[in-house]
Amino acid sequence: MSTTGPRLRPLWSRIASWVWRVSRSSGARQRRIAAIGGEYQRYEREQIQSALVRAKWNIAMVSRTLGIPRNSLYRKLKKYRIEQPTS
């Protein structure tokens, strides 16, 4: 019996299959999926902002807390136009 649990497909593989299914779906379903994507982005932005405030803008600490690499965090900061407040 394996103690490591079931093996998960790589993230890029799951995303690729999801994109393929979405591209073949109806227009109404595509609009629902787009709305969910917008909600996810809003949620992700809020989570990053709250983690930054809690860590007093310590990027290394925030990346460890959120479980993402620092370069990905920097990309998300740029994507969501999150800037450190002055003073």
Confidence of residue 74 (pLDDT cuts 50, 70, 90): very high
- Which tokens belong to 71? 């370069």
Confidence of residue 14 (pLDDT cuts 50, 70, 90): low
Other CB atoms within a 10 A radius of the CB of residue 45 amount to: 16
CA angle 82, 86, 87 (to 5 degrees): 140
Q: Per-domain residue ranges for the chain?
A: 26-79
Q: Which fold is adopted by the domain 26-79? A: Arc Repressor Mutant, subunit A (1.10.10)
Render pLDDT for 22-70 as a digit per residue (tens, 0 to 9): 666 666 666 776 777 778 888 889 999 999 999 999 999 999 988 989 9
